Amino acid sequence: MAAMSSTGTSSWFDLSGKVAVVTGGSRGLGREMALAFAQHGADVVIASRKLDACEAVAEEVRAKGRRAVAVAYHAASWADADRLADTAYATMGRVDVLVNNAGMSPLYPSVDAISEELYDKVMGVNLKGPFRLSALIGTRMVADGGGSIIMVSSIASHRPTAVEVVYGTAKAGINNLTKGLANTFGPTVRVNCIAPGPFLTDIAKAWDMDQFDRQAKAKFALERGGKPHEIVGAALYFASDASSYTTGAVLDVDGGPR
């Protein structure tokens, strides 16, 4: 992406003519980012496990006047990463922004009860998939002259709770991968990372909200969980020329833990 001028700040977040791929894009933070990119001019490839859910978001993107493609994608599958990359380039012609947002953090009764299958699944979705997809698309971005890769990590990557041991380990790998790929793909492709805290997406429906609200008031400077749309500012910053001199960065968007 070209460096921006010191004037004309209204165009800093303009994504007109760009193509974005968003994994985990059918719901939650991924959906918010996909729709925000479309609102700012980008065409979007929405990838997630359930094709019908991806297609529903694709229709929302099309309603904004942008092109959209829905792709069924399992982030732990090496072959699916290859297929997603090939589909994105075959249908859109190029990729300017990649968001590795797909993730999972299943509960477990105790650390010694974590099965090999669960361990491999969590590592596969949260770390293996982003590595393979970034390797494929980042290499093509370099050949095309530039782009932006956005990893989605978690505050669990550096402050894991007792029920996030494997997830936090995988996300710590994402932080490291961000810095490694920033060096690999620089200077034309930037690689940055968003580390969200607790966001009130559909996953929060399973939470005891009274207990969460009490804890949030004590543990976070902003005394609340994040609203899904509050991820958009960070995503647009990293996706656009507004962050033209930023790479290898990990940005916590977490309400300010005390």
Over the stretch 162-172, which tens digit does the pLDDT of each residue have? 999 999 999 99
The catalytic residue positions are: 167
Q: Taking CA 150 as the corner, what is the angle to CA 147 and CA 155, rounded to the nearest 5 degrees?
A: 160
How far, in Å, CA of 245 to CA of 63, rounded?
33
Percent of the chain's residues with pLDDT above 70 = 96
Instruction: Select from 19, 15, 17, 248 the least CA-distant residue to 150.
Output: 248
- 146-164 confidence digits (pLDDT tens): 999 999 999 999 999 999 9
Residue 207, classed as helix, strand or coil, is coil
Instruction: Select from 175, 170, 87 the least CA-distant residue to 136.
Output: 87
Neighbours of 120 (CB within 10 A): 13
Q: Taking CA 241 as the corner, what is the angle to CA 28 and CA 16, rounded to the nearest 5 degrees?
A: 70
Question: Among 90-94, 202-206, 211-215, which stretch is predicted with the lowest mean pLDDT?
Answer: 202-206
Asked if residue 66 has pLDDT above 60, the reply is yes
| Alpha helical stretches, state H, 93-153 | 116-123, 129-144
- Cα distances (Å, whole numbers) of residue 158 to 151, 155, 186, 192: 15, 6, 25, 16
- In the prediction, which pLDDT does 61 show? 98
Domains annotated for the chain, with CATH where assigned, are 15-248 (3.40.50.720)
CB-based burial label for 70 (10 Å; 0-12, 13-18, 19+): buried
pLDDT (average), residues 81-108: 97
pTM: 0.94
CB-based burial label for 184 (10 Å; 0-12, 13-18, 19+): middle
* DSSP code of residue 163: T
The residues pairing with 252 across neighbouring beta strands, listed in sequence order, are 195
- Cα distances (Å, whole numbers) of residue 180 to 133, 177, 183, 205: 15, 5, 5, 36
